[in-house]
Amino acid sequence: MGTPDTLLREWDAIMRRIESIDARLWQGAGILLVLSIGGISILRWTPPDTREDVILGCVVGGFSIAVLIVWWFIFHRWIRLQRVHTHRAMEIEDKLDLRFNVYGCLFQNWGENTEEIDELKDKLKERDPSAYDRLGARYKDLHKTRSAQVTIERSLEVLTVILGLAWLAFVVLYAVLY
């Protein structure tokens, strides 16, 4: 076990790593979005005149779909790493009586009845009953809308599927138009 200063420095490093992963996730998604829309647009401006044009369009579309599949695995790995970092940050918070990640985890998962969430709720309720009540009320208040329940992981999954389907539709239409 480290000193409070050592633990706080570790917590700070973990939080910077979590923010870095967040930034990479959104940068990657943004790049793929722009490239996909741009790629489909550019290829669409030049309708296929020859068999080679169709082959090129299908190869580009197939390659783009392959890139999106690889992206799927990469971003899920980053999400898992983020969860590991968050877990360690919550361990440190427990030792230092901090609550940043605990609040975030509870706020995102308040309605779930899992052992981990129930344990976090119990600890918070025991340490600070009024904070527990405020967080529960805030969760109920904000989670009335569906948008409040969307996670980064779910958003990236939906975006990746949409882009993959767009490329698939492009390849099919490109081949049919020829």
Q: Rounded CA gap, 165 and 148, in Å?
A: 26
Q: How many residues does the chain have?
A: 178
One digit per residue, the tens of pLDDT, for the chain of length 178 reads 689 999 999 999 999 999 999 999 999 999 999 999 999 888 877 777 888 888 888 999 999 999 999 999 999 999 999 999 999 999 999 999 899 999 888 888 888 889 989 999 999 999 999 999 999 898 888 777 666 567 889 999 999 999 999 999 999 988 887 7
* Helical residues (DSSP H) of the chain, grouped into ranges: 4-45, 51-96, 100-109, 115-127, 129-142, 152-177
Has this prediction a pTM greater than 0.85?
no
Q: Which domain holds residue 47?
A: 4-177
The distance in angstroms from the start CA to the end CA of the chain is 68
Number of separate domains in the chain: 1
